[in-house]
Amino acid sequence: MLRYPIMTIKRRQFITTCGLAALATQSPPLVAHGQLSPNIILKPSRLQIGDTVGLIAPAGIIDAKDIEAAKKSISQLGLKVKLGKHILDRYGYLAGKDADRAEDVNVMFSDRSVKAIIAMRGGWGCSRILPLLNYSLIRSHPKILMGYSDITSLLLAINARSRVITFHGPVATSTWNQLTVDYLKRILFNAEAVTMQNLNPREVPVEMIAPGKARGKLVGGNLSVLAAMVGSPYLPSWNKSILFIEEIGEDVYRLDRMLTQLKTAGILNQIAGFIFGQCTNCSPGDEPSFTLMQVLQDHIIPLNIPAWYGSMIGHIKDKFTLPIGVEVEIDANFGTIRMLEVAVSSE
């Protein structure tokens, strides 16, 4: 889960609640958009200079100063900003009550003046609003939705229930540096099918778990958030997919536990390839312990699929923008993710 200086989120106190909240209420059945089959995944329109981006706070609380910083970063991309009605609300450690945070998501998708939606930050809370989202409305107004960490819940649920491509990328309070912005522009503005590869292996090394190439639908996000969603109706199909995950501040044994959950739920046995991005501030924990690589090898090598650790995904300054639901080809020997199709439409 995402940790910011403005608030410390104690994930493990809430992770059980996340799973229970997702299971408690079933989302409404998906309705096809017009004459389109609900099995067809929709691509949102690409961004253009002058477009308006909606900012929402679907998880942890934010301050006015965060909004000003976000406006500055987004305006430098040539975009305008529209704020969610409840963006500065506070309800305990959440940015407003569940119904209000969900309302901001639904309203932004229905607002024809808004071309993309970016979450302000992660933290905790997105899974609580999943039963309150209007997935039919979202499918009839497909737009770019972007974020990471706790935003994983929204990205996966909307991809699964509304059948729309979503984007695992920077939140509005991220560091919008050159590499991050370059990938974002190429994918979201220029509608390019890019190849993602760590530019400086010495600074961000890639460690191969198992060699080879594989093709499949790119799916994933924050490991703890994903693990807490297992068993809910808000996850996409894993059949022959490429799973990417990332994490922050977890001991190795907890990572082992979450990967075991994905294994026993039958998810790992379905995937065609595996990428672990960055595990920021993850420690061996109590002694004796395994290394993270030993745990990854235990879980992944028996699957006989290409896999590696170290891709620029996660709680780091330089990060890729990953389109969830797009077909990609990965090469574990070189640590590359090659998009086989564009993620946005030219309309």
Catalytic residue annotation: 149, 246, 315
Please list, in sequence order, all residues whose beta carbon lies within 8 angstroms of the beta carbon of residue 10, skipping any fewer than 6 positions away: none
Cβ atoms of 101 and 108 within 8 Å: the answer is no
The angle formed by the CA atoms of residues 315, 275 and 120, to the nearest 5 degrees, is: 30
d(CA 318, CA 312): 7
Comparing CA positions, the residue from 291, 287, 311, 300 lying closest to residue 259 is 300
User: What is the spatial distance between Cα 335 and Cα 274, in angstroms, rounded to a whole number?
Assistant: 11
Distances, alpha carbon 263 to alpha carbons 189, 267, 292, 293, in Å: 37, 6, 16, 17
Give yes or no for a contact between 20 and 50, defined as CB atoms under 8 angstroms apart.
no
Buried b (16+ CB within 10 A) or exposed e, 310-344: bbbbbbbebbbbbbbbbbbbbbbeebbbbbeebbb
DSSP 3-state of 315: coil
The C-alpha atoms of residue 139 and residue 160 are separated, in whole angstroms, by 11
